[in-house]
Amino acid sequence: MTDRTKKLLGTGAFLLAVLLILGLAGFNYLYNLGNTPLRDWDEARHGVSAYEMIQSGDYLVNTYLEENDYWNLKPPLSFWLVAAGYQVAGYNAWGLRLYAALSGIGVVLVCILLGRKLGGRAGALFAGIIAVTTYLFTEVHAMRNGDADALFVLLTTLSIYFLATCYGKGWRLALSVGMFSLAFLAKSWHALSMLAVIGLFWILSRSWRWMRVRDYLYAVAGLLPIGIWALARWQADGATFFTTMFEVDMVNRTKEAVEDHAEPLLFYFKLVWQYYSLWVILLGVAALVCIAIALLQRRRKLPALLQAAEAPQYPYARLALWLGVLVPLVAFTFVPTKLFWYVFPLYPCVAVLCGAYWGRIFSAVKKRWLRWAVLGLAAIFVLAAGAHYQRKCTYNAMTAYTEPMEEALQALDRELVEGCRAFSTLSVYGNEGWDQDQALGAQLFCGMEPRQGSLKAFAWDYTDRAVILMRRDELPALMELVEPFSLNRRGGWTADGVEYIIMQKK
């Protein structure tokens, strides 16, 4: 077999392995994507805002039940992509979550590409396996949910990619800043941790030694998306959105635990260890071995089995990755409001670091047989650990179930209620009107126009087409507010032995 043939076979095997990893990502993030209920709070809120953007044609100001939304204080990028998903896959859970799943596949691909640059083929595959089996990415607020976090992780990972490979190339630093800008347009102030990463990297890598004036101009240009959006939003409703966004998402969350999301100080450290411990061990071992090799090489005491490393093409890449791990981990540790998805961006950095360090170890081994032995042992560990975490990912992907209320909305005759102003008494949480996931279901499945309020709000609504979804035993209370002869039953359903009806004014 010629060297050329061996090279082609090696390249083919590598590409096949990459495709298998991306295929696994597709399974983890796309399988049964539309077969779980719409989720209350962030996913439902994003879904409603994206739906109403399409209906109104206003893609700048996010609304909830056709009123400006000052609770979900996010710039519009993630709403736009949910809206695009609706246009591609329809008004359903698939359309709601499609962009998040594709973002997840993108994260895995970026990890493979950066792992290839820093750790060779083995490093690329290690990074891909670790990224794709990140169990928390198949949980809520991640790659199977229609909110901003999947996109945010993709954009911060892209920012790290360009930062890690920017040495001597100012345009890559500008792209890193540009990815930060897009991350801000997806997740607001949470993206400041990425800006801190870029700033610390510039200082610690002494990038000013090679950056030119034009490089700084490119970097400033990378902030233009934020400036353009801010100017447009200011013209829409003045300072209201910005002051509320700053007070609620910046001041309040850093001053106290908002909405009872209080956790112990070391919450994120325990979280990473609980869900990522095997990869932390793999990274720790590899980092220590690489430090030992570097010290021996500096002292010119490398044993015969090892060889000196070549000068790296990206000398500060691992610095960028470590900053991508430590900055969000430390910064959010000291923020009173703690939620497990706040530190999602560090997981791809850990995956690539593992690939980069182990790639360095393989290249340092001089003897071919020993290199293959080390590679084999490391690969066994990675595959075994990956299989352990993949079981949990598979469970989440295979899980499919529905909620009774969602089933009922999907079963309604759309022609009877489409375009109706809709009220409800069926809140699970005792709200005066719709829960957020119910409101989204009413829009997507029935084309209704949900409004807050229940019996009284319906009674005081004098539009031509107003309906209310309620339990049948609530009908006497409604008749005390509305003349019985002015009511008309438009349909109903039964669930768990309870009869529900839809009433409309004549």
* Residue 448 backbone zone (phi > 0: left; psi -120 to 50: alpha; other: beta): beta
Domain-terminating residue out of 398, 427, 449: 398
Do 311 and 411 have their domain in common?
no
Do 391 and 425 have their domain in common?
no
Tokens in use for 502?
């839809």
DSSP string, 118-175: HHHHHHHHHHHHHHHT-GGGGSTTTTTSSSSHHHHHHHHHHHHHHHHT-TT-HHHHHH
Do 24 and 164 have their domain in common?
yes
Do 385 and 417 have their domain in common?
no
Do 496 and 386 have their domain in common?
no
Distance between CA 149 and CA 197 in Å, rounded?
A: 18
Which backbone phi and psi does 10 adopt, to 5 degrees? -65, -45
Report whether 219 contacts 174 (CB < 8 A).
Answer: yes
Report whether 144 contacts 138 (CB < 8 A).
Answer: yes
Structural domain count, the chain: 2
Do 52 and 129 have their domain in common?
yes
Do 69 and 105 have their domain in common?
yes
Domain-terminating residue out of 398, 413, 430: 398
Report whether 371 contacts 300 (CB < 8 A).
Answer: no
Query: Would you give the DSSP letter of residue 306?
Result: B
Residue type, 327: V
pLDDT one digit per residue (tens) for the chain, 506 residues: 555 655 665 788 999 999 999 999 999 999 999 999 999 989 999 999 999 999 999 999 999 999 999 999 999 999 999 999 999 999 999 999 999 999 999 999 999 999 999 999 999 999 999 999 999 999 888 999 999 999 999 999 999 999 999 998 999 999 999 999 999 999 999 999 999 999 999 999 999 899 999 999 999 999 999 999 999 999 998 999 999 999 988 898 888 888 788 899 999 999 999 999 999 999 999 999 999 888 888 777 777 677 766 667 889 999 999 999 999 999 999 999 999 999 999 999 999 999 999 999 988 888 888 888 999 999 999 999 999 999 999 999 999 988 888 999 998 888 888 999 999 999 998 888 999 999 999 999 999 999 999 999 999 988 878 999 999 999 999 999 988 778 888 888 888 888 999 999 87
Do 183 and 112 have their domain in common?
yes
Tell me, yes or no, if the pTM score tops 0.85. yes
Query: Would you give the DSSP letter of residue 2?
Result: -
3-state secondary structure of 421: strand
Domain-terminating residue out of 348, 378, 398: 398
Do 211 and 278 have their domain in common?
yes
Do 268 and 341 have their domain in common?
yes
**Residue 88 sits in which domain range?**
3-398
Do 134 and 227 have their domain in common?
yes
Do 287 and 436 have their domain in common?
no
